[in-house]
Structures are given as C-alpha cells and as structure tokens.
Amino acid sequence: MQLPFFPHKPKNSAIDHEYLLALEISPQIIKCAVWSVINGQTQVVAVGDQSRWDDVSEASLVTASDTAISSACERMGSTGKLAIKKVILGLGSTWINGDKISESKMPLIKSLSHKLDLVPVGFVVTCEAVMRFVQHSEGTPLTAILLGFWAQTLDMTLVRLGKPDGMVEVARSQSLTDDVVEGLSRFPKVDMLPSRMLLYDSGIDLEEIKQLLLSYPWLSPTKKFGFLHFPKVEILPSDFTVRAIALAGGSEVAVSLGLIEKSEPVLPAELPVQNLTASDFGFTSEENIEIPAPSKSVPELVLSEKPKFKLPNFTIPHLSFSYKPVLILLVVIGLLLCVSGLVFYLPKATVNLGFQTKTIDHNFVADLGVSEVNVTVSLSETAPATGSKLVGDKATGTVTIVNYLGTGRAFPKGTLITSPSGLKFTTDESASVSAAVIGSDLNLQPANTKVKITASQVGTESNISANTGFRIGTYAQTETLAKNEVALSGGTSRQVKAVAKTDVDKLRTKLLENLKAQAKQQLLDKTSEQTLITDSVVVTTVGEDLDSKIGDSADSFELKLTVKAKGQVVSKSEIDNAIKDALSSLVPAGFEIQSTTPRNLSAKKSSISISVSANLTPKIDSLITAQNISGKSLDKATEYLHTLPGISKIEYVISPPLPIITSRLPWRTSRIEIRVYPL
C-alpha cells in the first residue's frame, strides 16, 4: 500500500464506474436510486423523486418507473446521460413466493424490463433490506418492530436480534392505532414485544402517525401487548428504503457481478439477494451495450498529499549506548498504549437476558365507590309463521220449527240448533211458534214457523241434506224440533298459515338474547373511564309490540321488544390502585409487576370482590447491572448475572469480533447495552 506522502505512480483521474439502478416497487409508490461501487464499497450516487402507480396495471407501473428512473438520472448531472440498464428490484413480501417472484407478478416485471430496456440482476424484500441496513448503520443486531405505512395496507415486521420473527400485512382502516394493534395480535406466541418502533412510509405524514402511537396506552393494565417499556417511536427518512435496497442488497449483487472482490469487505449480515438472469424473466440474451465512461463532473475521492517533513539532528555528547534499543522500547510502549486505548474505547457489547415470566393469581375484597348506569334498547325482527288455521265460508239455509206442545214458544236470535251429527247452527233472527191444536179428526196438529240459520263453523260438513231433523236448544225433539225441507249450502273450508304461540315465544327468546348483548355493549361504551361489573347487569322487558295476534292467519309476523338494562360501575383508577395495593406484598423480591388482568368482578353494595392475574418480570436496573459487569471476563459476568432474580438465559454480542476484545466485556459502561426479554 502506498502512503499519500510517498512518491508513487500517478493514477488516471477519470475512473470508470459501472452504474446500476435500485428500483423499489411498493404499494402505489415507485422509488429509484442510482448506485455504484466506488473504492470497493457500494455507494448511492443519486436518489430520484418518488412517483405513484395504480398498483395493478402494467402501463401504470412502466410510466411511474420511467418517471422515477429519469428523476434519479437527472440528479447525476452529465453522468445521468449514460444508458443504465442493470437494476436490482426491491419488492414487497406479497410479491414473493418462497425464494422467487410470484407468478402473478412476473408479467409486470417482464413488461417493465422489456419496455424500459432494463436488465434485472437480483431482487430483495424491502422490509428485510430496511432491517439489515438499520442493523449495519447501528452496528448491533436489530430488535424492533418495522412499520411500513401504505395507502391501503400496513406492513409489520417483528425483528429480534437481527432476525425476522414474523411478518404480517394488515388492511388499513380509519384508525391507524387499531391497525397496529391488529397486526401485533397476529404475531404468534409473542409474550414480550420490542420497545422500539421504526416507521417508513409511502409519502404520508409519519409525524402525525408517530404522535398517535406515542399517545396510545401501550402499558395500560387492560391491554395485553407485552411491552416491557413504553415503545420508542422513530421515523426513517423517506429515501431510507430505496437506499437500503441499493446498499444492503446491492453489495451481494456487486460481488456476483465482479464489481467487488470477494476478499473486500461488504455489508455484514448481507441479505439473501436472488441473482437473476434474463432467462428468469422470459427474455433472450442481447448484445452488450457499451457504457461510456462518466464525465469528469462526477466527484471522486482524491487523497491529498501530506507535506514532507524532516526531523532535526541532535548531538548528544559523551553517550556510548545505541539508539536502537531505545527506539524499539518506545515503539513497543506506543503499540501497547494504542492497543490499550482500542481495548478501552472500541468494544461494544449487547447483553441479552432471558427470563421466565411469573404469574400471581389473587382474590380479594375492596371497598370502592359504586355507581349505577342504565340504558334502554329496542329491537324488532320479522319471522315466518309456522302455525295453521282452517278458514272458509259457513253453510246457510232455512229450517221449519215444529211445536208439538199445547203452549206456544219464542226463540230469540242466535238460538242454538244442533244436527244429529253434532254440528252447531244458530238462528239469524228471532222466531215464535204457536201452540199445537187438536183437529176435528181429534188428531194433534202441531204449529210451525220458518227461520233462517247459519252454521257456527266453516266447512262442507255443514252442507246438510234435506229433511234432516235438528234439536232446538235443550228441548226434546218430541216436544219441539226443526227440520230443513231444502239442503243447507254454501259451506267451504281450506287450511292457511297462522301465527302460533310457539312462533312468538321463539322470536321473543332470540330478541332478548340480542338485546342483552347490545345493552351490555352500550353500558360498556357509556362507561369508557369506568369498569362495568358484568354480574350486576339486569335486563328487564319494558315494551312488546306484536303486529298480529296469536291464531291470526299470516305468512309472517313482526315482534318489537324494548328492554331496560342497568348495571354497577367502578372507577378504573380505583380498581388499579386497589389491585396495586393488594399485590404489593405478594410480589417476590427482585420482581416487579409488568401487567395485571382483572378476571372477575362482583359487587355487594360498596364491597367489590376482585379476581386478578398479574405477570411479573425481573426488576433489573440496566445502569447498575452494566457497572457491575464492565471489564469482567465473560465467566465472571455470567456468574454475577445468574445472581439476578429470574434470569435463566444469558447471551453476549460483542463487536468487533476480535479475540482480544471478545474475551471480556467493555470497560466503559456506556458501551454496554442490557436487554431483557421473556423466554
């Protein structure tokens, strides 16, 4: 290696660089950056303005990509006139199936490559590129939640110690915090979440989203998110994602293309970049297009030559010893001082402490202020009728009343007349008959009169044939009877649907169940700052309206019910304070309450019976712990850390990975980070 202040062969100042594109295809957003390999490292040369596409059509994707690429190339000055064809793609997780681009998305990539004359050389998943680039920038394994906000979706990636532990996509709703909560609930088997959120965007106002997330009660006892501390929310720059694709993903592509020698350092923990050929996209090889050298306007790194200097000559009289041992001693001392300085200032360590969560279940009674709330709820519903009813016309006709008695008789309207088979009829009008007389032949001559009658029931059975004798009222037929000289007629019948009692009872039960649920929810909504004691809720029916009577003929019927619900509520802050006081003496030494969950509340006047479950975590002071293990060997540090309550797993991540450094923890407390997580 030639030092700058020694004479060396001058180099040509016009260094040829091959420029490549990094194209980020996100939901409705396209971003582009131009990157190259300069001095053996991938560097972003220019970043263009983002452009929008409809997230569906090939034409929209091609137009938006062309705009983004042109914007990036224009910012390179005269160098931007080069024909840049090679491109690395940054794609969303929904574009990837296994380790390949999804077949449903491949036509879009083919059309983009063909129409813009691009040569894809690889692709990376955008959220993984962001994860690796943040990790590289900070120099330690990343533990955080990545949140990518797009117009219609939210991408969430859970990262632990530099590795993705889960990825979910949530459809956007009106409430951004509800979307984040929904995404957190989808991560499987997560007891403790990282207390750090990194936001990257689609051009929307992330500062407003940050304030919403900071105002959300993540550590509220009623929530179950598993944050050990209140989350820290950070916003990544708008061009961070496309730079991450170029720098974190481009280094591996640069090695595969021969732009970087394998022995040269690249980004640590590189992404699994998929190298692509033209055949992977359905194209055939074409002739290489010569790329002209960039103009001299592109800035390049020039090492300035240091000024030459010369040590003065000293004359030391009467000294007979050699200078060589003294110089060697000074060099050794200098090297020792440099090594000591490096060992003291350079090392950085992350100590990961895993613990087993403890749970306390406790039942107690507290005297709290109880108040009552009530709501009134109405609900109506229509149901089909399943009963049946006989309807039709009644038979009518005329009968002759014959009186055999020596006294006359009167019959009011509605007098009952019964047929021999038991069918009932009534008279349509009042009638009277005179007494029977004895004729000249000494025979009894009965008196008679005619009267109209109507059947009491519908049906053809009442169409009784002529000359049938009927019983009038309760009189014996030997005294008085009725006889029809002409057959009765007009009786018809048919079966129709009718409202049955069981129909009404069934619908009433269903409505009551729904009303109880609605009433309980309205009570909960009405008491957002209070806790409803569910066992105290009483629901009473205060109104019922049925549009058809039971037995009425109808195909369907409607029932409307109105109920009044009342219940007892207690202030949430009073419950939290009561739980805190009740559990304070039960928490083991060295532990603290992470979260509490009231499982059951019941009230008797002002006395509240509370059943609560509390999760405990070790109470660890990160600063004191770092002070106690700084400068210690790993064995000594482990011995001390095992004395901390609840700690069952210890991991060390020390950088840089040099034997002289990784054998013990840094001496400086500020260079030690303590992280506590549940197992």
HSE-CB at 491 with a 13 A cutoff on CA atoms is 23
- The band of 10, judged by pLDDT with boundaries at 50, 70 and 90, is very low
Q: Has residue 568 got a pLDDT over 60?
A: yes
- Which residue's entry shows tokens 């900070």? 138
- Whether 576 and 598 have beta carbons less than 8 Å apart is answered as no
Name the more confident of 300 and 180. Answer: 180
- The band of 464, judged by pLDDT with boundaries at 50, 70 and 90, is very high
pLDDT for 592-645, tens place per residue?
Answer: 887 777 766 776 666 777 888 888 888 888 888 888 888 888 888 898 888 888
Q: How far apart are CA 240 and CA 130, in angstroms?
A: 8
SS3 285: coil
Q: What is the mean pLDDT of residues 279-293?
A: 38
Average pLDDT, the chain: 79
pLDDT score for 14: 35
Angle at 269 between CA 263 and CA 273, to 5 degrees: 85
Amino acid at 229: H
pLDDT score for 225: 75
Q: Which of 195, 180, 203, 267 is nearest to 234 (CA)?
A: 195
Which stretch, 182-191, 523-532, 557-566, 607-616, has highest mean pLDDT?
557-566
pLDDT for 307-321, tens place per residue?
Answer: 333 333 333 444 445
- Which residue's entry shows tokens 């002739």? 287
pLDDT for 647-678, tens place per residue?
Answer: 888 888 888 776 666 678 888 888 889 888 88
Q: Has residue 500 got a pLDDT over 50?
A: yes
Q: How far apart are CA 244 and CA 22, in angstroms?
A: 9
Prior bond of 666 cis (ω within 30°): no
Strand ordering across the sheet containing 607-618: 358-367, 607-618, 591-604
Which residues, 6+ apart, have CB-to-CB distance to 66 below 8 Å? 116
Q: Which of 55, 46, 51, 52 is nearest to 21 (CA)?
A: 46
pLDDT for 387-445, tens place per residue?
Answer: 888 888 999 999 999 998 888 899 999 999 999 999 999 999 999 998 888 877 777 78
- The band of 530, judged by pLDDT with boundaries at 50, 70 and 90, is confident
Dihedral pair phi/psi, residue 426, rounded to 5°: -135, 150
Q: What is the mean pLDDT of residues 549-569?
A: 86
Q: How far apart are CA 171 and CA 253, in angstroms?
A: 33
Amino acid at 390: L
Q: How far apart are CA 216 and CA 227, in angstroms?
A: 13
- The band of 566, judged by pLDDT with boundaries at 50, 70 and 90, is confident
Q: Has residue 291 got a pLDDT over 50?
A: no
Q: What is the mean pLDDT of residues 514-531?
A: 82
- Taking the CA atoms of residue 51, residue 55, residue 59 and residue 62 in that order, the dihedral angle to the nearest 10 degrees is 40
Determine which of 174-188, 249-263, 520-534, 574-588 has the lowest per-residue pLDDT on average. Answer: 249-263
pLDDT score for 80: 56
Q: What is the mean pLDDT of residues 499-518?
A: 89
- The band of 368, judged by pLDDT with boundaries at 50, 70 and 90, is confident
- The band of 341, judged by pLDDT with boundaries at 50, 70 and 90, is low
| Other CB atoms within 10 A of residue 332 CB | 10
- Taking the CA atoms of residue 33, residue 253, residue 166 and residue 130 in that order, the dihedral angle to the nearest 10 degrees is -30
Q: How far apart are CA 655 and CA 653, in angstroms?
A: 7
Query: What is the fold of 139-235?
Result: Nucleotidyltransferase; domain 5 (3.30.420)
For residue 207, count CB atoms less than 10 angstroms from its CB and return exposed for 0-12, middle for 13-18, buried for 19 or more.
Answer: exposed
- The band of 296, judged by pLDDT with boundaries at 50, 70 and 90, is very low
Percent of the chain at pLDDT > 90 equals 18
- The band of 61, judged by pLDDT with boundaries at 50, 70 and 90, is very high
- Whether 400 and 483 have beta carbons less than 8 Å apart is answered as yes
pLDDT score for 322: 59
pLDDT score for 197: 92
Count of residues in the chain = 679
Would the pTM count as exceeding 0.75? no
Q: Which helix (H) or strand (E) holds 450?
A: strand 447-458
Interaxial angle between packed helices 58-74 and 106-115, expressed in degrees from 0 to 180 and rounded to the nearest 10: 50
Query: What CATH number has the domain spanning 393-435+444-489?
Result: 2.40.30
pLDDT score for 146: 93
Q: Has residue 285 got a pLDDT over 80?
A: no
- Cα 513 to chain center, whole Å? 28
Would you kindly state where each structural domain of the chain is located, as residue ranges?
A: 139-235, 370-387+498-568, 393-435+444-489
Which residues, 6+ apart, have CB-to-CB distance to 590 below 8 Å? 618, 619, 644, 645, 646
Q: Which of 636, 562, 574, 633 is nearest to 601 (CA)?
A: 574
